Amino acid sequence: MIVPADPYHIAAAIEALRNGKLVALPTETVYGLACDATNGAAVADIFSAKGRPHFNPLIAHVSSVDMAARYVKIDPLSQILMEAFWPGPLTLVLPLIPDSPVHPLATAGLSTLAVRNPRGVFSDIIADFGRPVVAPSANRSGRVSPTNAAAVADELGGQVALIVDGGPATVGIESTIIKVSGEDIFLLRPGGLERAAIEMVAKRGLKQIDQRAAIEAPGMLKSHYAPEAPVRLNVDKVEAGEALLAFGSKRAHGYGEAAVILNLSPTGDMREAARNLFNYLKQLDRSDIVRIAVEPIPCQGLGEAINDRLLRAAAPRS
């Protein structure tokens, strides 16, 4: 059931969290499927509702840096970044404090916990609830993330107690995930906070994790964020019957052949493109198209995260 983010329904959402239920909540990035991070049965329900593999850990959402400090050990550099960017689209992977009440299912048994303080009503809900809240994107595993309440209802409608409608997500792409290790900062997932913003505050470059090295960011499964239709990237010529996901003012050759065209940002604005990405992929994913063709999108700023998601949307499906 989709409900407005008014005081009555916010209280209902908090009550549902207390009772170990799943609720869908808005964040500035994408909608999350939320539950009490300390309740193992509720966390197990999240994995089954999403069809998510159990080795893929969840992000624990908190309402402040102080709250995070109750669950993870925060090094000075991570602290600076949290203070600079929270609340906002930045997730940090940090060592769990021994005897933390966060259920081990949430971390897939790892000794680290990913923490993030989202913007908006979700943060107020967590502050009131008083415990960390795990929330993966509110889609079935591997599929396009929902950026509005209706998209959540399409994906998981039957499986959540409540969907709190906070309007369309303002960032539209999941949080950036980093991990500080000694003097280095590793980028585990590009996302809604640009690399350059982090590098400026941290006064150093972000390092890439070696994708072959273990399961550092297990969510980096290759095929992910995938619509039903196949996806073809960097097109310079559209084929008949394709849906075109366009970008900027210059069209690919043969765009007249496209069954439908949506432009992520006619002016080439990366923020606008990120905000529209998942919604447009979903709209273009019609049964009468042969494929979704995507025009080239530069890798600058949020373009890094946009291209990351598109690469996974286009990856071979198993």
**Residue 135 in contact with ligand TXA, rule: CB under 6 A:** yes
* C-alpha–C-alpha distance, residues 207 and 187, integer Å: 6
Pick from 27, 39, 117, 137: which binds Mg ion (CB under 5 A)? 137
Nearer to Mg ion, 137 or 263 (CB): 137
DSSP state of 237: B
Q: x/- site string to ligand TXA, residues 9 to 28, per CB under 6 A?
A: ------------------x-
- List Cβ<8 Å contacts ≥24 apart for 202-205: 202/77, 202/80, 202/81
What is the C-alpha radius of gyration for the chain, rounded to an integer number of angstroms?
A: 19
Nearer to ligand TXA, 93 or 126 (CB): 93
Tell me the residue nearest to ligand TXA as measured from the CB: 219
CB of residue 238 to ligand TXA, shortest distance in Å: 31
- Which entry of Mg ion, ligand TXA, none binds 169, CB below 5 to 8 A by partner kind? none
Nearer to Mg ion, 38 or 91 (CB): 91
Q: Which of the residues 176 through 205 are near ligand TXA (CB under 6 A)?
A: 177, 188-189
Q: Where are the alpha helices (DSSP H) in 165-286?
A: 195-202, 270-284
153 phi, psi to nearest 5 deg = -60, -40
DSSP-derived 3-state class of residue 25? strand
What sign for the dihedral angle of Cα 12, 121, 273, 60?
negative
Which range, of 55-63, 135-143, 184-192, 246-254, touches Mg ion by CB under 5 A?
Answer: 135-143
**Residue 43 in contact with ligand TXA, rule: CB under 6 A:** no
**Residue 93 in contact with ligand TXA, rule: CB under 6 A:** yes
Which range, of 46-54, 112-120, 136-144, 210-218, touches Mg ion by CB under 5 A?
Answer: 136-144
**Residue 174 in contact with ligand TXA, rule: CB under 6 A:** yes
Question: In sequence order, what are the residues at sequence separation of 6 or more whose Cβ sits closer than 8 angstroms to the Cβ of residue 286?
Answer: 229, 243, 259, 260
**How many residues make up the chain in this entry?**
318
Question: In sequence order, what are the residues at sequence separation of 6 or more whose Cβ sits closer than 8 angstroms to the Cβ of residue 69?
Answer: none
- Which entry of ligand TXA, Mg ion, none binds 88, CB below 5 to 8 A by partner kind? none
Structure tokens at 293: 């063709």
Cβ atoms of 24 and 162 within 8 Å: the answer is: yes
Contact footprint for ligand TXA (CB under 6 A): 27, 29-30, 32, 56-59, 89, 91, 93, 107, 110, 112-114, 116, 118, 135-137, 174-175, 177, 188-189, 216-219
